[in-house]
């Protein structure tokens, strides 16, 4: 299990599962946040806690959540359930409290700006861009 908090520790998350890669998206909001996203489902393999504030993206499909106190971007949450009734959530893995557990995870670039498709691999890991 990987856990994380915002800077002031008012908000927390946990992710329980295998992480094959993180996504770095270039859409108009993700590139401003600089997050490295890992995906799961709310109350399945992702648990959240704390008083987060929500910013709902223009198309109303996604809510981006951030700490009301320190401003850290915590996660995004899909506003509509998938066919199984689950809500997709992506947590900002940069907020982990155990960076040594994630440093070898590969980064997959994603073109959320133009094509909504995976881009060619960077051949970089979190360690290459973070440490």
- Taking Cα atoms as reference points, which of 45, 39, 12 lies closest to residue 24? 39
For position 52, what pLDDT does the model report? 96
Is residue 40 within 8 Å of 78, Cβ to Cβ?
Answer: no
The pTM score is: 0.90
Ranges of the chain with pLDDT below 70: 131
For position 55, what pLDDT does the model report? 96
Burial tier of 104 (Cβ tally within 10 Å: 0-12, 13-18, 19+): exposed
Q: For the chain, what is the domain count?
A: 1
For position 21, what pLDDT does the model report? 95
For position 118, what pLDDT does the model report? 93
- Owning domain of residue 57: 2-130
Contact residues for 82 (Cβ-Cβ < 8 A; gap 6+): 41, 88
User: Residue 89 and residue 51: Cα distance in Å, rounded?
Assistant: 17
For position 17, what pLDDT does the model report? 93
Name beta bridge partners: 106. 125
For position 105, what pLDDT does the model report? 96
For position 46, what pLDDT does the model report? 97
For position 131, what pLDDT does the model report? 65
Contact residues for 84 (Cβ-Cβ < 8 A; gap 6+): none
Is residue 50 within 8 Å of 10, Cβ to Cβ?
Answer: yes
Say which CATH number the domain at 66 has: 2.170.150.70
User: Residue 87 and residue 17: Cα distance in Å, rounded?
Assistant: 16
């Amino acid at each position: 299990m990987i856990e994380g908090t915002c800077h002031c520790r008012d908000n927390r998350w946990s992710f329980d599962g295998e992480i094959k890669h993180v996504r770095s998206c270039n859409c108009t909001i993700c590139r401003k946040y600089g997050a490295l996203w890992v995906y799961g489902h709310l109350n399945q393999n992702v648990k959240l806690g704390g008083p987060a504030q929500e910013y709902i993206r223009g198309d109303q499909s996604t809510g981006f959540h951030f700490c009301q106190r320190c401003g850290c971007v915590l996660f995004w949450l899909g506003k509509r359930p998938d066919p199984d009734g689950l809500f997709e959530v992506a947590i900002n893995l940069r907020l982990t409290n155990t960076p040594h557990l994630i440093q070898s995870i590969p980064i997959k670039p994603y073109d959320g700006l133009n094509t909504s498709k995976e881009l060619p691999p960077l051949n970089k890991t979190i360690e290459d861009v973070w440490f």
